[in-house]
Amino acid sequence: MKKISVIGLLTFISLIFFNSCYYDKADVVYPAVTCDTTTVRLSVELENIMAASCYSCHSGTADLGGGIVLTDYATIKDYADFGILMSCLIQDGSTSAMPKGGAKLSDCEINKFSAWVNRGAPQN
């Protein structure tokens, strides 16, 4: 009987000891992913996105893209001002979804374009 009590006591103490060592900080291990849209610039952030996703069809040397060249500011600004740029990117069905044949841009990338357009599509 005494042996069972000692084993039970040791088991109880062991459970308390090991349970107290548990460390769970999800916010430290997996920090929140943020999308900074406060200082989006056409010449930096958006240019990089377009180089990766648009220029294979919409550059001056590409034969695809329906003759739409997105390498000059005036054209990009026109498409932004008329809502065509965002319509293509968010793929709302009123225009051709872009990038054609490719994966839709990430929410963060679309949010960067949206922030830039909402600021008046500056030439920056």
Cα 70 to Cα 59: distance, rounded to the nearest angstrom: 6
C-alpha distances (whole Å) from 20 to each of 11, 15, 71, 89 are: 14, 8, 59, 50
d(C-alpha 9, C-alpha 59), whole Å: 75
* Closest of 97, 95, 114 to residue 46, by C-alpha: 114
* Count of all residues that appear for the chain in the document: 124
Q: What is the mean pLDDT of the chain?
A: 85
Share of the chain above pLDDT 70, in %: 82
Q: pLDDT tens digit string along 76-87?
A: 999 999 999 999
